[in-house]
Structure 1
Amino acid sequence: MLFKFFDKLSQDFSELLNDKKECNVVIEVDKEENMKSFTSHSVVLRYRSTYFAKELENIAANENYIKTIIKPNISTQIFEIILKYIYGGIVNIENIETKIIYELMIIANELEFKELSEKLENYLIEYKASWLRTHFSRIYHSIFDSNKCNEFKGLNQFYNDIITKHPNLIFESEDFTSLQEAALISILEKDNLQLEEIKIWDYVIKWGIAQNLTLPTNLEEWSKENFKTLKVTLQRCLPLIRYFHISEKDIWEKLKPYRKILGTQLWDDLYQRLFPNQPVKSLVLPARIISNPELPQRVNELISTIISEEHVAEISTWIDRKSTIYSLTNVPYKLQLILRGSKDGFQPKTFWNMCNGHADTVVIAKVAETDEILGGYNPLAWDNSKTQDTYMETNDSFIFSLKNGNIQNSILSRVANKSCALEYSGSNNQKTFGPCFGECEFLLQSDVSDFTKDKECWCIYDSDHFYEKSIRTTDDKFSIVEYEVFKIVKM
């Protein structure tokens, strides 16, 4: 009979973490004012982590036989979790922000805690898929930029599935041109990449040019050396283009200007297409398998640059005035996108035109230069036919700030003066003013008719107004980098 007492063992070792006797290792984490020192036992570190075993082997002790390890890239919060795992084998991620869980996974991998890293990776894929999709570009870049694509195989497969079905998510992202070559190649190798070949060619050329900032902006000014530079940059990417599945028109319009990077044989073979049944010497790759797949409806709803599935659950809870936040599997609403700034434009008039007549809507805005996500819920129909500014009455509207990044907690502020819950702009002001909740408690405004260009948006910092409390801690005006308007639909 074998008896195992792992719980008691874990408890005893967890208590050892707080026992400073015989500690002979100091670990300094974080930077500058956030830096903190932790004490530990070398024997525990060595047997729990091959990483720390190697570190301790290469560090000399001071006169008091203490060794110091410095890890400025690890935050205090994350290292406290790591230490509890080292000593007690326990990690509690309940009520921890998803961003921190992701960073914990990265650090666990760096410190060679494979079981912890894999457990967190599986957790994120299974339970935080919407967050992973929301932060697609950032995470995909970080995995490949750190050459960890072979270590995070689950995430790599997760994102490759998304890229295959929705390649524009990566190709049209702001930081596409900073993508590592290995990542771009892995995308180009996919036989079922759902994108026309000529568009793939355009993106590859765009990426190659971006890697060489000295290339002239006008192609007519390019020298022989300029083309040679681009060809060298793209030497591993060019063979992956399916040239013989590009239309004749696109070959002459899009490929011909860059024929010097293709090589004489390939260009001659492409020219041969004008003469049917003529053999070619170049390698002919098969056409990509275009199936126009659709992701499940829940996924399409949440491909957003701003909010996550957790945010949807929180907003739904507020709409229904529940005291407990809905679980992710029990959210009674879905969001239907009406407007997205980066797609439809940031002009105030666009808001009034596209949202006119829509009731039960939520406006979400991401503030420039901060982690703030601000918004408001309007149960009434937006109306662009007002001839003058008009206050609208409702008991059910609210404004909010969502937990995100450095914002530790969400803020909910319900309407306090129902007669002035919202202000609808008259036709003369719709070129300047977008949605306005209360008396500027949440307002999108621009004097140059673009919410991203001037700092005129405002959440007035004054409790003596039409909503319960302010959703910001400053009275400063701001611009936004993105905003979306969704219709709330009962499932």
Structure 2
Amino acid sequence: MTSFFNPKFSKDFPPILNNDDNYDTIIQVGENEDIKEFRAHSVILRSRSPYFEGALSSSWAKKENNMIIFNKPNIAPNIFDIILRYIYTGKMDLIEQLSDILKLLVASDELLLEELCDCLREYLNEERYNWIHKDFVLVFYTVRKLANCEFLQNYCFETIYFDPELIITSFSFLSLDRDMYYDLLEREDLLIKEIAAWDYLIIWGVEQTSGLRSLNCDRNKWNNEDYEALKETLNEFIPLIRFTNITFDDFNDKVRPYKNIIPNQIYKEIEEFYNKGTTPKIILPPRKIENFNSKIIKSRLIRRIIEWINIEDFWISSYNLNLVYRGSIDDISNKSFKNKCKGQVKSLVLIKVNYSNKIFGGYSSIGFNSIEDDSLLRIYNDNHRFYRSSNNFIFSLENDEDTQNMKISPVINYDKAIYDQPHNGFNFGYNAFFMTENHCIINNYSYNYENNIKTDTIYSIEEIETFIITE
């Protein structure tokens, strides 16, 4: 990370740090074999840190031969060296290791060095796209314990919610504690294939089970006691797997070999489901959003879209998205779109254009065609027919995995949310975003939607999909 300098701190103190004369404090940090003593001046420490102001006061400080002796075993010597130099100089040198940055953040928070904490939080925020792929679990474990790291905490929670596979497939995933992993698997809206959830549960369980790690998950070396040990480890987790969303082939290849760790009643229901099609009574139903089936965008993006559909209830609502129209199957034309996408229903349209990675889309809380609700109908000059909605929006994505650069334009003229144009498949806000045969256009010259998306390009449609949304 880049060096940090606090101009509030005097430039006259660096020589004092390296001078053994007149020091009155010995600070012993670290534990076991990693211990080091630092010599310092209590007047400087107390003036820089509210923590030391109290800890080194006459009522708290321990003295031997008129020397303050202070122990801080929970801070490593290399971390305290950085902190001490910062206290004397206002400077913090480059730190490369993420683990050291986090240790420094924890220590700075404990010692009430607010400016240093701010610097470290800002750095972690700026570099979040890098560290999240390096060691997400370590960062999350660290910041969730710190009261002043709310932004980073929210970012971690958001990552877990929108991209859980990033965590589950990471190296640090094996260090997830039981409570955190349980909460993750329990979610009905976890965006992960169920067989992947099973695979990683087994890997995690083996790592948590004493005696199995050394066998390197080689089941050929397992005995009955090993299976019983794994069963005990995963006893509360296995009921969280939605077995009915695992294919029969995957069940035979990856689940059946672990029959001995699955509760008898659950395993019986699995077999009856595959053999007789019996609806399970104990096994949890499929996750709410796992069956989202789009050829245009990845599943993680649908969360962003749903977040905009229902901002207030987003964290407690679940949605089903049912595909009703796909251009490559039903034909890309106004007629096909109107035949498949009609009625007053919450609808989402997605478009992948040719010769570009760009994706465009729109959500209408009232549908696109044949709305047939006169209370929503608005008629303007020359018999232009519009339908009212306060919840509609259009959006653009840079590609099918783009979660960071999504541009959204909510409707601002509610009375002109949907334009009833017979020569278009759909039309948001009088040509803000519309389909005409196998082309789509976004120009928003009418300004019925926020002007966040605007292009004069006429795009050729490569694929188009419409989903009906139900709660």
TM-score of Structure 1 vs Structure 2, range by shorter chain: 0.3 to 0.5
Structure 1 or 2: more strand by fraction: 2
- Structure showing greater Rg: 2
